[in-house]
Amino acid sequence: MKTPMQELIDTFEEMRSPIDSKVDVDFAISLIKSLLEKEKEVMCEFADDYQRNCFQRSAYQYYNETFNTNE
C-alpha cells in the first residue's frame, strides 16, 4: 500500500513528458519527495498519540480532530 504522497509522485512521474509542459513536473516531484520523511514522522506521531490517548474515539474521528479536516 502506498501513501497518498507516494501515489501523487507516481502520478506526476507518469505525467512527465519530454515535450513542453505548462507544469514543471520535475520540480513538483522533487518538492513532494522532500516532504515524504515529514509525512512519515507526522503519521508515526499521530499513531503513537492515538494509541496512548484515544480509546473512546475512532482513529477516523481523532484524525479529523487532529488535522482539522472537518471544515
Please compute, for residue 43, the number of CA atoms within 13 A of its CA located in the half-sphere on the CB side: 9
Residues 57 and 8: their CA atoms lie apart, in Å, by 30
CB atoms within 10 A of CB 12: 19
pTM of the model: 0.57
Q: Which residues of the chain have pLDDT under 70?
A: 1, 18-23, 69-71
Contact 6, 29 (CB under 8 A): no
Q: What is the pLDDT of residue 3?
A: 76
Domain boundaries, the chain: 4-66
